[in-house]
Structure 1
Amino acid sequence: MHDLVGRCLLLFLGTLISLVHSKTDSPDVSALNVMFKSLNKPSQLRGWQSSGGDPCGDSWEGIKCSDSSVTEINLSGHDLSGQLGYQLSSLSSVKIFDVSKNNLNGDIPYQLPPNAQSIDLSENNFDGNVPYSISQMTNLEEINLSHNQLKGQLSDMFAKVQKLKSFDVSNNQLSDKLPNSLANLSNLNTLHLQNNRFTGTINVLADLPLNDLNVENNKFTGWIPDELKGIDELKTGGNSWSTGTAPPPPPGVHHRRRPNKQEENSEGSTRSLQMGLIIGFSCLGGICLLLFLMFVFTRRRSPPPSTHFLDEDVISRRKGFTPLHSQELGTESYVSILKEPKDSKSTDPGNSDMKSLLKSPSMGLRRSVSSRVSFSENEFANRLKGRKSTSVQVVPYSLADLQKYTDNFSPDRLLGEGTIGRVYKAKYPEGKVLAVKKIDSSLFQGQKPDDFSKLVANISKLHHPNIAELVGYCSEQGHNILIYDYFRNGSLYEFLHVADDFSKPLTWNTRVRIALGLARAVEYLHDVCSPSMVHKNIKSSNIFLDLELNPRLSDYGMSCFHQRTSQNLGMGYNAPECIKPSAYTSKSDVYSFGVVMLELLTGRMPVDNQRPRSEQCLVKWARPLLHDHDALLGMVDPALRGLYPPKSLPPFADVVSLCVQTEPEPRAPISEVVQALVRLVQQSTLNMKEDLSSSCRTTDTEYELV
């Protein structure tokens, strides 16, 4: 009897221990389930399931784990076909991801395991572009995308992937020039670009610590930099290199030259002297720097101008600037209190509450020379109604002029880029500034000559106060360019997520107004345009703010390119059903709009790998908390410093919840979203005075006099 009880107890304990140690994290299970369902008849994957299961505990084929997290996926040479699904970004603990030597097709998923160190997708049938999300994979050390059918250009995606040691995109159909950000790869040892259609020079590679470089069989021109000729493994055949002596580099450009062995030996003899001189000058420089800093702080100079739009500072100085947080706080009496006084002596010295607020380093009302321009005060309710849209006449621009006023599309004029193309800043002598969108020429391969003309005609018909309207175009010598007004205040993404010590946070009322304006822009596309237009790329970096901080939605009318390139949206914005671009609907746009509302509410990015694992995906973290009042108070963007009417949070969160439902059916149509936001504005107007005074009293203790 005792033996039977003992055996049962041991069996129970063993089962319990197995359950405790083998249960795989649910995000990992869900991602692998989606991947399994996206493959074509993957019966050869032992243990895999389309729903549920325990990859770590049940030892799914090709899966390795640490505790309950999947850390390695190795399915190389398994004769797999189909696609990889849309949920790889949930695999946040995966370090090695290898699906090489299969028959996988379609796009490389835009969202790859975000913290991977090694990715191998080589020897498949992937097409489309190299996903720009690689730019956020800061732990990446090696990636192999060779022997596929990738097209388009390499985007400027290498600024943050400093750990990258090996990059292989050989044997594809990539074209255009090499991006300038390749020069940032200070640890890159191996670079294989052979058998593509790259053009231009390879000067950007001159200072990289390469030991293995293959650029054979492309369309490179110019000279092979002397700095690269000492590489152990160097292959450059099959290009159109220039002959003769290479010209000297431009003034101010000095490349690192690889010394030969004799030079290395001779350098050693002088190194001690050089080090002595360096140490001596460093000490002298340190003393001078210390004296300079003492001088600066004793003078108590005013803060320097923001460099966010450095070349616009002169324009900004022409008129006064009132920091953003003093604008549109809701009631006229409250605005009149916080309004910057014309004479600083007129501020009531006895009002300790207001002195505390005025002197807060992050919310102070000092006059600033930041290039961001605020809107005038009052008229909040009137502006919510929107201005009447005036039709903008779309005019042709010459390629020569655009090249001249963008400094020949100089990297210094680059405003941004995406899967469709790059946007440059054009500055005309008379002061006119334009945003010039240069569409990737590969997107027009195989299309009719008049396809671009039709695109321009369709986009030019769209007029709404909350969209960035087309003002011009250019179609010359194979270049297809769209031209828009340049918005000096930049994008909503920059306001919310780009650190700037001298800019001020958007007020709560401004955020609500931006949400309503954006909703009206989407409503215009969905319900007013005929036929209805699905945007497919709504995100905060595509929402620009005019001089009065009204939102202007851009990148509309480009869905045909998203369809052709099969690119998903930016990380964190695409709805769960959007496995492929053909799955996008108006409800998918509503989901993306809801993510932007979450950014306005929380100040967080849609995906942030620097946060705790449970908070990295904004929607997954926020969705369960939207109906919890206490949790909701803790979600609000800390930059607001409590200056918001608490009663407006639950209805705002309710709208967000209606937009970010997992399934598309329960999501509200955008027309209902507009109505809900209008009601929120009306309620806020009625209760603003009471809520704001209460908010000030409860937050005064958080400020310190400085």
Structure 2
Amino acid sequence: MFHNLLVLWGVLFGFFTVCVYSNTNSQDVTALNVMYNSLTSKSKLSGWKSSGGDPCGDSWKGIKCSGSSVTEIKLSDLDLSGSMGYQLASLTSVTSFDVSNNKFSGDIPYQLPPNAKQIDLSNNGFTNTVPYSVSQMSNLETLNLGHNKLSGQLTDMFNKLTKLKKLDLSHNSLTGNLPQSFAKLSSLRTLYLQNNQFTGTINVLLYTPVDDLNVENNHFTGWIPNDLKSINIKSGGNNWSSGPSPPSPPGVYRNRGSGSSSSGGGEKSSVAKGLTIAGIAFAVLFLLGILIFCCSRKKRSKNSHLLEDDRFDKRKSFSMFSSRDLTKDMHSDYDGLKSTDSPAIIDIKPVQKSPSTGFKSLSGRLQSFARRSTSVKAVSYALADLQVATGNFAPARLLGQGSIGRVYKAKFESGKILAVKKIDSSLFQGAPPQEFSDIVVSISKIRHANVAELVGYCAELGHHMLIYEYFRNGSLNEFLHMSDDYSNPLTWNTRVKIALGTARAIEYLHEVCSPSVIHKNIKSSNIFLDLELNPRLSDYGLATFHQRTSQNLGTGYNAPECTKPSAYTLKSDVYSFGVVMLELLTGRKPVDSSKPRSEECLVRWATPQLHDLDALSKIVDPALRGLYDPKSVSRFADIIALCVQRESEFRPPISEVVQQLVRLVQRSTVNMDLGLSRHSSNSSSYREDLQSSRRLTDF
């Protein structure tokens, strides 16, 4: 009997030991269950389960743990396909995530393990571009996205990745210039960019400590900087300029170590060293010249700023660096601040301080301006040119009127069409003279696939104008509320795509931009649609003006707490976005006096019906004619309900809204056949738009 009790005690002890010491964190288990269920090919994942289980205690394939937390996921070469689910962000203890050499396709998961140090997604079939969530992964040391099908431009999303040592983007179809935030990669040693379609120069890499670089087979131009010729660099298959490269500017990394240039690297190491020494000498002389000039100017006027010119006061134009700025094409020549002619590209690039060059002697104003100007590109337009292009701001060219000004359509002789926002001059009364300059600098740095890009500005004779891309498809407001009997309504999946893209734009403003940008005027008329019906959020970065006007209050988009412009917060933007989602769901305006009194306010009327399936089916836009997935609509309504809560503290951050919309898309059971809202002005363009939209089979 006593022996049996000992046996029983041993069994129970072993059972409880397993329960206490082997059970995996439930959050990690759920995330891995979701991942397993999202895969379409998973026969080699031994031990994995679709629900429950104990990844740490049962030794699931590729899973390593520390205590009860999953710390490593290594699933390379397992013929995996499908998707990886929508809960990877829950794996907060994972430091290594490797799914390389599989058969994954579609977008890279928008949310990855947030604290990972190593991410390897190479040798798959991932498309689209690098997700913005990567920009928040400050612990990341290795990111390998090579050998996929990524496309589009890289945006300025690398500011916080100061621990990143190795970045591999090779063998994709990425385009555009290298982002200026590469200069923030202060730990970068290895960079592989070969076999893409990158353009522009590689000068920004001078500000990184990279010593293993491959940029072969792109469309790079300019020179290979001298300081990069002494590292292990492969550079063939580009359009390099001939002859010796100009000396490098101050603030770049020196003494990178020995290496060899191959395949078009250019010159022998001895020549490169000679040019480097010459560059240093030139830079020192250049800085001495600035110091002498600064001192002489200081004697003349205590109020003058370094490198300023009286021409600015005479022309009453705000001052900015001209296109020949401190680092133009990495030349060390500098022509000083200039007033701009039309059109003239403004390109303000970062000035890196280096103790060895004595760069600290530059004025505080210039250093401060350079630090906050990571990549500013805009075009200065003359007032006279804009008057011609807009027919002297004729009523026939008026595209719309907002709370801070009017927007006009500008047609130029070259055929280019732009949208000109003419800001009400009364908003500048009592404002500091540099305010418009600061706004242009701030807005110009904002770059995102779902944000309408600022392409220019005008500041002459008391006029202040911002110039944006023109979208011939118009705004979401026009699509939803101004269509005619000949228009095709937006399909349900297109509406979800518009909501997700807009949410990502807001997430970029709130959580990627530093400091955060509160939009304060999110509404359907500020969401434009490109030819493929991708949303482009406009009117951002103008919160300063919204502080001075109450015209935008009470439009149906403003959160209950926003009784005055200064009351706006990030959560107020979330509320406004929820109202836009309600428009997409119901096809109704936020405020509609033509409706019965109980239905005039969209939020008040729709909110009680969002969780009632029967009622929900009755408030869905009739234009959809029942062609939607009821489960998708129900989940969409759940997200709306969270966003439009009266108490701001209960509304989710926009990143959570993005995650839930991504989850909705991944759960969708209907085919992603996108629709167009209306016919284009000519049938051939309409057919092109339709073909373009049908190519978008994923969000």
TM-score scaled by length of structure 2: 0.51
Equivalent residues in 2 for 1:402-413 (5 A)? 413=443
Equivalent residues in 2 for 1:99-118 (5 A)? 99-118=99-118
Deviation at residue 185 of structure 1 after TM alignment: 0.3
Residue in 1 aligned with 2:679?
Answer: none
Question: How big is each residue's C-alpha offset from its partner over 1:575-634, in whole Å with a ceiling of 9 and x where there is no partner?
Answer: xxxxxx999647426516625759931698456xxxxxxxxx7999xx9xxxxxxxxxxx
Question: How big is each residue's C-alpha offset from its partner over 1:630-677, in whole Å with a ceiling of 9 and x where there is no partner?
Answer: xxxxxxxxxxxxxxxxxxxxxxxxxxxxxx9x999xxxxxxxxxxxxx
Is 2:636 aligned against 1:588?
yes
In structure 2, the residue corresponding to 1:427 is in which secondary structure?
strand
Instruction: Work out the CA distance in 2 between the residues paired with 1:169 and 1:257.
Output: 25
Deviation at residue 25 of structure 1 after TM alignment: 1.1
* Cα distance change on mapping 1:13 and 1:143 into 2, 3 Å: same
Instruction: Work out the CA distance in 2 between the residues paired with 1:388 and 1:138.
Output: 39
Instruction: Work out the CA distance in 1 between the residues paired with 2:104 and 2:536.
Output: 35
Residue in 2 aligned with 1:524?
Answer: 583
* Cα distance change on mapping 1:189 and 1:388 into 2, 3 Å: closer
Instruction: Work out the CA distance in 1 between the residues paired with 2:480 and 2:404.
Output: 11
- 1:456 pairs with one of 469, 474, 481: 474
- 2:252 pairs with one of 255, 265, 287: 255
Question: How big is each residue's C-alpha offset from its partner over 1:161-194, in whole Å with a ceiling of 9 and x where there is no partner?
Answer: 1100000010111111111101100000000000
Instruction: Work out the CA distance in 2 between the residues paired with 1:24 and 1:64.
Output: 11
Residue in 1 aligned with 2:543?
Answer: 489
Instruction: Work out the CA distance in 2 between the residues paired with 1:176 and 1:619.
Output: 26
- 1:424 pairs with one of 445, 454, 470: 454
Question: How big is each residue's C-alpha offset from its partner over 1:461-498, in whole Å with a ceiling of 9 and x where there is no partner?
Answer: 567996263699999xxxx9979546521799xxxxxx
Question: How big is each residue's C-alpha offset from its partner over 1:77-104, in whole Å with a ceiling of 9 and x where there is no partner?
Answer: 1111111111110111100101111111
Opposite residue 43 of structure 1, the aligned amino acid is: S
Residue in 2 aligned with 1:225?
Answer: 225
Residue in 1 aligned with 2:162?
Answer: 162
Question: How big is each residue's C-alpha offset from its partner over 1:662-694, in whole Å with a ceiling of 9 and x where there is no partner?
Answer: 999xxxxxxxxxxxxxxxxxxxxxxxxxxxxxx
* Cα distance change on mapping 1:162 and 1:603 into 2, 3 Å: farther
**Where in structure 2 are there 5+ consecutive unaligned residues?**
259-269, 278-317, 320-400, 422-435, 483-520, 547-558, 590-628, 669-699
Is 2:46 aligned against 1:46?
yes
Opposite residue 128 of structure 1, the aligned amino acid is: N
Question: How big is each residue's C-alpha offset from its partner over 1:11-64, in whole Å with a ceiling of 9 and x where there is no partner?
Answer: 110110111111111111111111111111312211111111111111111101
In structure 2, the residue corresponding to 1:14 is in which secondary structure?
helix
- Whether the 8 Å CA contact 2:88–2:112 is kept in 1: the answer is yes
Opposite residue 409 of structure 2, the aligned amino acid is: V
Instruction: Work out the CA distance in 2 between the residues paired with 1:456 and 1:186.
Output: 42
- Whether the 8 Å CA contact 1:80–1:103 is kept in 2: the answer is yes
- Whether the 8 Å CA contact 1:394–1:460 is kept in 2: the answer is no
In structure 1, the residue corresponding to 2:105 is in which secondary structure?
strand
Is 2:413 aligned against 1:395?
no
- 1:414 pairs with one of 444, 448, 459: 444
* Cα distance change on mapping 1:77 and 1:242 into 2, 3 Å: same
Instruction: Work out the CA distance in 2 between the residues paired with 1:31 and 1:258.
Output: 46
Opposite residue 153 of structure 1, the aligned amino acid is: Q
Deviates more, 1:135-144 or 1:74-83: 74-83
Instruction: Work out the CA distance in 1 between the residues paired with 2:92 and 2:583.
Output: 38
Opposite residue 71 of structure 1, the aligned amino acid is: T
Equivalent residues in 2 for 1:608-647 (5 A)? none
- Whether the 8 Å CA contact 1:435–1:485 is kept in 2: the answer is no
Deviation at residue 237 of structure 1 after TM alignment: 0.4
Deviation at residue 135 of structure 1 after TM alignment: 0.1
Opposite residue 56 of structure 1, the aligned amino acid is: C
In structure 1, the residue corresponding to 2:151 is in which secondary structure?
coil
Deviation at residue 246 of structure 1 after TM alignment: 3.1
* Cα distance change on mapping 1:522 and 1:106 into 2, 3 Å: closer
Equivalent residues in 2 for 1:344-383 (5 A)? none
Instruction: Work out the CA distance in 1 between the residues paired with 2:632 and 2:87.
Output: 16
- Whether the 8 Å CA contact 2:28–2:70 is kept in 1: the answer is yes
Equivalent residues in 2 for 1:614-693 (5 A)? none
Residue in 2 aligned with 1:467?
Answer: 523
Deviation at residue 508 of structure 1 after TM alignment: 7.2
Opposite residue 175 of structure 1, the aligned amino acid is: T
Q: Once superposed, what is the RMSD of the aligned Cα atoms?
A: 5.0
Residue in 2 aligned with 1:350?
Answer: none
Deviation at residue 529 of structure 1 after TM alignment: 5.7
Instruction: Work out the CA distance in 1 between the residues paired with 2:205 and 2:647.
Output: 38
Residue in 2 aligned with 1:436?
Answer: 468
* Cα distance change on mapping 1:31 and 1:148 into 2, 3 Å: same
TM-score scaled by length of structure 1: 0.50
Instruction: Work out the CA distance in 2 between the residues paired with 1:10 and 1:68.
Output: 23
* Cα distance change on mapping 1:459 and 1:396 into 2, 3 Å: farther
Instruction: Work out the CA distance in 2 between the residues paired with 1:95 and 1:517.
Output: 36
Is 2:176 aligned against 1:176?
yes
Equivalent residues in 2 for 1:134-173 (5 A)? 134-173=134-173
Opposite residue 600 of structure 1, the aligned amino acid is: S
Alignment length (residue pairs): 418
Matched residues, percent identical?
41
Residue in 1 aligned with 2:242?
Answer: 243
In structure 2, the residue corresponding to 1:152 is in which secondary structure?
strand
